[in-house]
Amino acid sequence: MKIALLPESFSVSGGIPDPFDSPDKSPFQPLFASRVSAGFPSPADDYVEGGIDLHRHLVKNPAATFFAKASGDSMQLKGIYDGDLLVVDRSLSAKTGDVVIAAIDGELVCKILDLSNRQLVPANPSYPPITLCDEAECLIEGVVTHAIRYL
| Domains and their CATH numbers in the chain | 12-57 (no CATH), 62-148 (2.10.109.10)
Return the pLDDT at 105.
83
Q: Cα–Cα distance between 95 and 86 in angstroms, integer? A: 18
Residue 25 among the catalytic residues: no
Choice among 22-26, 54-58, 77-81 with the minimum mean pLDDT: 22-26
Does residue 42 register a pLDDT over 80? no
Give the residue-averaged pLDDT of 65-76.
94
Give yes or no: 111 in active site: yes
Which of 9, 78, 93, 111 is an active site residue? 111
The reported pLDDT for the residue numbered 33 is: 54
Mean pLDDT of 46-51: 62
Query: 99 burial class (0-12, 13-18, 19+ CB within 10 angstroms)?
Result: buried
Active-site annotation holder among 74, 78, 91, 93: 74
Taking the model in full, what pTM does it have? Answer: 0.70
pLDDT (average), residues 63-72: 92
